[in-house]
A = this chain, B = another copy of it.
Amino acid sequence: MTHRVRFYHAGCAICVDAERRFADALDPVKFDVEIVHLGDTPERIGEAEAAGVQSVPAFVIDGQAYHINFGAALADLKGGA
């Protein structure tokens, strides 16, 4: 069975790098990765927040949030959207 993975980002340089490194690196046999750009789809910020995402870039894998370095705080995305 494949794991559902969401990768939340906001288009920042750190986000793009993390996407290239990790979202493209996960074993495609095991993971089904959805890329979510919160700048383009601010209506999904609530969903990310509910999953425990505090900053981007971040993965949510099986409901657990994993922050990769620090690009931008979710709170700042809400303000700037």
Contact = CB atoms under 8 A, between A and B. Distances in A.
A24 B46 CA distance: 29
22 contacts: A17-B64, A18-B66, A21-B61, A21-B64, A21-B66, A22-B22, A22-B66, A25-B26, A25-B27, A25-B30, A25-B31, A26-B26, A26-B27, A27-B27, A27-B28, A65-B69, A66-B68, A66-B69, A67-B67, A67-B68, A67-B69, A68-B68
* Interface bin, chain A: 10 to 19
Copies in the complex: 2
A67 B27 CA distance: 20
Interface string A24-47: 011110110000000000000000
